[in-house]
Structure 1
Amino acid sequence: MILTAQGFPSDTHTRVVAELNPHQLTESISEATLTVRWFAGETSEAPPEFSFHYADETGQDFGWHHEPNPHVEEWGHYQEREMAGSEYSYESRTFSSMNPSRVVWEVLALLDSKT
């Protein structure tokens, strides 16, 4: 599913942008990206903050986030923009784990069912 991945900034890699294989997603796109951000928190007791955000040239723009957002009560949420330039819609989302590798697999399965 992932063709390339590059971390930004180069010294800390707090953001990774992955180029996705569009042929595994759908036949109607030629390029797509998944941008991942993960912050462990200030202390070991602090919940992690993360986002997995998909975008492609057709204007699809959606993602799964675990971070404070005034549009939802809990940290976990899914957000989607119906068309380029429109406002995001939000819905609460609970993740099965806060373990980074488990969240990656969960989001990749959600992405596969969404595209």
Structure 2
Amino acid sequence: MFAFDGGYDPGEASHTALLELRRTVERHPAVRHATGEPPGQFIHVAATLDPTVLGSDADAGTLTIRWYAGETADAEPAFAFHYSDATGFDCGWHHEPNPHVEERAHSQERPIADDDYEYDAVEFGSLQPVPLLWAILDRLEARLTDR
């Protein structure tokens, strides 16, 4: 994305990626509704889920997506896809600095809200928003089915 002066605008690039992620996540059968916040210049997308479609017995769940395109057009993005449900279980796949883990690409999980997170390094097949979203949704379904 480019700024009005012809330069790269990381805020606009991030918003554009989040807009496409919102549109795409709404096509998944587990998603009841998705919104981008704040309106006009998204900094995250929140999707309300039916976790039973993904293999969980939770009554309600959410997937929060944060995406930052980076300071330059060729920078790797920073992102987080984070799931939580009514049972207190939450997990996420992140590509960002975290003082609890050495790798930028990592997963984190805790079975109940008051537990400490467990972190593991992960690899992503793509850092492009839409292919990454589908891969994360597949990982989420596999994780919830295994619980």
Q: TM-score range by the shorter chain?
A: over 0.9
Query: Which residue of structure 2 aligns with residue 72 of structure 1?
Result: 101
Residue 101 (str. 1) matches residue 136 (str. 2): no
How far apart are residue 7 of structure 1 and its match? 0.7
Give the TM-score taking structure 2 as reference length. Answer: 0.74
% identical equivalent positions: 45
Query: Which residue of structure 1 aligns with residue 85 of structure 2?
Result: 56
Query: Which residue of structure 2 aligns with residue 2 of structure 1?
Result: 31
The 2-side partners of 1:71 and 1:44 are apart by 28
Q: Deviations for 1:22-69, whole angstroms, at most 9, x for unmatched residues?
A: 330236211100000111001012210000000001001110000011
The 2-side partners of 1:97 and 1:18 are apart by 22
Larger radius of gyration: 2
**SS at 1:16's partner residue?**
strand
Residue 88 (str. 1) matches residue 131 (str. 2): no
Distance 1:35 1:27, change over 3 A: closer
Residue 32 (str. 1) matches residue 64 (str. 2): no
- Higher relative contact order structure (alpha carbons within 8 Å, sequence separation ≥ 6): 2
Q: Which runs of 4+ in 1 moved over 3 A?
A: none
The 2-side partners of 1:78 and 1:114 are apart by 11
Q: Which amino acid aligns with 1:102?
A: P
| Structure 1: runs of 5+ lacking an equivalent | none
Q: Which amino acid aligns with 1:85?
A: D
The 2-side partners of 1:102 and 1:28 are apart by 27
How far apart are residue 110 of structure 1 and its match? 0.2
Query: Which residue of structure 2 aligns with residue 11 of structure 1?
Result: 40
Q: Deviations for 1:2-24, whole angstroms, at most 9, x for unmatched residues?
A: 11001111121110000112330
Aligned residues: 115
